[in-house]
Amino acid sequence: MTAENFIRYLSNPAEMTDRDADSVAELWKSHPYFAAAACLYLKKLHDKKDIRYAQILPHVALLSADRSRLQNYLKTLPIIAETAIPDYPIGDLQSEGSPSKDLDLIDDFINKDPHIRPITYDTTTPQTPDPVAQPAQPVTDGIFTESLAKIYVGQGQYEKAIRIFEKLNLNYPEKSAYFADQIAQIRKQQEKQL
């Protein structure tokens, strides 16, 4: 199935043949979180009054960001088969209980239209600091790296570069010979500039 056909079927699912519906089902099976393919396949099952519709509807409803739009897309209330519905597994999403209870639960959820409200904080009362929390340590020296020192050398700020290498020498005594050599090279370069 081409992307153009898929987009065309989304706007007009009646044009989709059974063979195309099978292609959409395979597409959904290979990409289980592809909600558009799931909705399109569900719409085709709905239009054909296929008994798999009632079983697949809860799975597609989980993928749908807005269940009321899904319901509008399907244009009718869910069809629930009177007969026993065969077990067609869709991934690992097997629901427990009867499909009618699951669909009633989904319909109730859609009708209630719940929203998650943001947490509001009372800004009128002052906040007391946590006695266990440690006060923030002021950063006075900053973060110094060899790369920053090389940037300073490239900019001609030799004194800053030397100070960084001296601090690095104190923090990393095992590299003191290297840092001493770097400081000596910077001083030579500084003398050439004068």
pTM of the model: 0.38
The answer, yes or no, to whether residue 136 has pLDDT greater than 70, is no
79 or 181, which is more confident: 181
The answer, yes or no, to whether residue 96 has pLDDT greater than 60, is no
Q: Are 21 and 41 in contact (CB under 8 A)?
A: yes
Cα–Cα distance for residue pair 61/95, rounded to 1 Å: 13
Cα–Cα distance for residue pair 152/144, rounded to 1 Å: 11
Cα–Cα distance for residue pair 57/45, rounded to 1 Å: 10
Tens of pLDDT, residue by residue over 40-85, are 888 888 888 888 888 888 888 888 888 888 888 777 444 444 444 4
pLDDT for 123: 64
Rg of the Cα trace of the chain?
Answer: 33
pLDDT for 74: 79
